[in-house]
Amino acid sequence: MKSRLRFTLQLSFTLIVCLFMIVPVAMSVLAGLTENYFVGLQSGLTLRWVNEVWELYSDTIWLSIKLALACLLITTLIGVPAAYGLLRSRRRWANAIEELLLLPVAVPGLATALALLLAYGSYREFRGSWLFILIGHVLFTLPFMVRAVLSVMQTAKLPQLEEAAASLGASFRQRFFSVVIPNCMSGILAGALMVITLSIGEFNITWMLHTPLTKTLPVGLADSYASMRLEIGSAYTLIFLVMVVPLLVAIQWAGRLTEQRR
């Protein structure tokens, strides 16, 4: 009986915390679909605000997607070899380098952005292009790709597999593409999902680096929160959630996938 009571109390507390997490999200979703939030639900449900957001901000969504994909491409191209390099380096070196690569995550995005602005902001064309933001996103997401790939590489006993492939006559290139890459695919997948999710949601760096012509989704969000009516901000948030929640589900699924491999 006593343990029953304890369970109930613990569950109630957990439920309260859940409410704290979910209520504002639910309210925001609702507000984005309500005709007039002042009046309340009786004013009726509508997609009018979503449409309006699409008209006002669709370019920010496309830019965010473009950025996320470009960011994914670059982090994969430089992150997978980097993870392999770390795997192959001496432990002390690998730790030091990993710590270095982690700095853009450990240090607040605001500081990274400021550093980039002060160093490269004077190159007008570069500063005004979306590539400037891309740099920030790559710095910020790269460690997540490296870490995801490296952790799979470590559990996959890659050095042994490579030795086996070499003993059968495989050159370095053949080993890398037939053994290394296929065996850390789950890590690349997990890293890729993480990179896309983080890139789409990145605000702290992007806000400092954006120009009126290079607004991303979160920048647009901040913009709408500050200057638009609540329904529009909510509808915009709703669009963001629709984009990000599937990614989060996929991340969880990928995480389970790599866990099973272990």
Partner 1 sequence: MKAASKQPLGAASFSTRWMVLTVPVRHKSLVAVLALMPALIVFCAFWLLPFSRLILMGAEADRSSGVSAYLTILTHRQYLISIVTTVGISLVVSLTAVAIAGFVGFFLARQHFWGKAVLVAILTFPLAFPGVVVGFLVIMLGGRQGALAQSSLWLFGERWMFAYSLAGLFIGYLYFSIPRVITTVMAACDNLDKSLEEAARSLGANTWQVTKDVIVPGIAPALLSTGAICFATSMGAFGTAFTLGTRLNILPLNIYGEFTNYANFAMAAALSVVLGAITWIALSIARRLAGGNLGASA
Partner 2 sequence: MSSSVSITLTHCSRTFAGGHMALQPLDLKVNAGETLVLLGPSGCGKTTTLRIISGLESPDKGGQVQFGQRDVTTLPIEKRDVGMVFQNYALFPNMSVADNIAYGLKLQRLSRFEITQRRDEAMRMVDLQGFGERRIDALSGGQKQRVALARAIAVRPKVLLFDEPLAALDAKLRDRLRIEIGQLLRELGTTAVYVTHDQDEAMALGDRIAVMQAGRIAQLGTPQEIYHQPANAFVADFIGAVNCLSVIATKPDGQLAVHGGELSAPHLLGATEIYCRPEDIQVVPLNQADIKGQVVQSVFLGQTQRLLVDAGGTVPLQIEAPSRQRWPNGTAIGLALPFNVLFHPDKPTTTINTKEMANG
**Residue ranges binding partner 2 (CB under 8 A):** 156-157, 160-161, 163-171, 174, 178-179, 182-183, 185
Q: Are 19 and 219 in contact (CB under 8 A)?
A: no
Phi/psi at 34 (5° precision): -95, 140
Site for partner 1 in 211-230 (CB under 8 A): 218, 221-222, 225-226, 230
Residue 187 binds to partner 1 (criterion: CB under 8 A): no
Residue 191 lies near partner 1 (rule: CB under 8 A): no
Q: How far is the CB of 82 from partner 2 (least distance, A)?
A: 21
70 binds partner 1 (CB under 8 A): no
Q: Is 146 in the site for partner 1 (CB under 8 A)?
A: yes
Q: Is 75 in contact with 141 (CB distance < 8 Å)?
A: yes
**Distance of closest approach, residue 110 Cβ to partner 2, in angstroms:** 42
In the complex, least distance from residue 168 CB atom to partner 1, rounded to whole angstroms: 19
* Minimum CB–partner distance for residue 51 and partner 1 (Å): 20
Q: Which amino acid, one-letter code, is at 221? A: L
Dihedral angle sign, alpha carbons of residues 29, 33, 36, 40: negative
35-64 positions binding partner 1, by CB under 8 A: 37-38
Residue tagged 């270095």 (tokens): 100
Closest CA to 253 of 189, 198, 195: 189
Handedness of CA 107, 113, 119, 120 (dihedral sign): positive
